[in-house]
Amino acid sequence: MRDDGALYFYELHEGDDELFTDVLLSHDSEFDEEEFLGMVLEARSAVLERFEEDTLSEAIAAELARHHGFLVVDDRQLRVAVNVSAEEGETAVVAVDELHAPRTPDEDEGFRSLLVDLEPEDRRWGDA
């Protein structure tokens, strides 16, 4: 274990075409690619058949935290959030509690997004 205060960051991705399925982890030890992959594969095997998290990435991250001392970097560590804007006077602190408050479907309406990347030859609609 290092005592110089350095932190190293590791990332898990679940599928190339999924939105918001990345998980960021930190650790005070530096692992090379093969070491980290080995830990991830071990954690995946341990949780694959049964996990309660929303995604496999989150389940693997939780397993890495339990057995290898990783810190899952998520909103639990968030202390201050600032909404930035190009407009003068609109950059302001957002209450962290507001970011975590449950929303009704109507409140979420303005915050949904969908990313679609289509090649012109793959379109199935709008062509005569």
Q: What is the pLDDT of residues 27-82, one digit of tens each?
A: 999 999 999 999 999 999 999 999 999 889 999 999 999 999 999 998 888 888 89
The DSSP secondary structure of 52-80, one letter per residue, reads -SSSHHHHHHHHHHHHH--EEESGGG---
pLDDT value of position 67: 97
Q: Is residue 110 part of a domain?
A: no
The pair phi, psi for residue 71, each rounded to 5°, is -105, 125
Rounded CA gap, 53 and 32, in Å?
27
Based on the structure, what is the number of domains in the chain? 1
Q: Is residue 67 part of a domain?
A: yes
pLDDT value of position 4: 75
Confidence of residue 2 (pLDDT cuts 50, 70, 90): very low
Q: Is residue 83 part of a domain?
A: no
Which domain, by its residues, includes 54? 8-76
* Residue 8: its H or E element: strand 8-12
Q: Is residue 66 part of a domain?
A: yes
Predicted TM-score (pTM) of this structure: 0.66
Q: Is residue 23 part of a domain?
A: yes
The pair phi, psi for residue 122, each rounded to 5°, is -95, -5
Q: Is residue 22 part of a domain?
A: yes
State the CATH number of the domain containing residue 70: 3.30.70.2710
Q: Is residue 71 part of a domain?
A: yes
pLDDT in tens, 97-111: 765 555 455 554 555
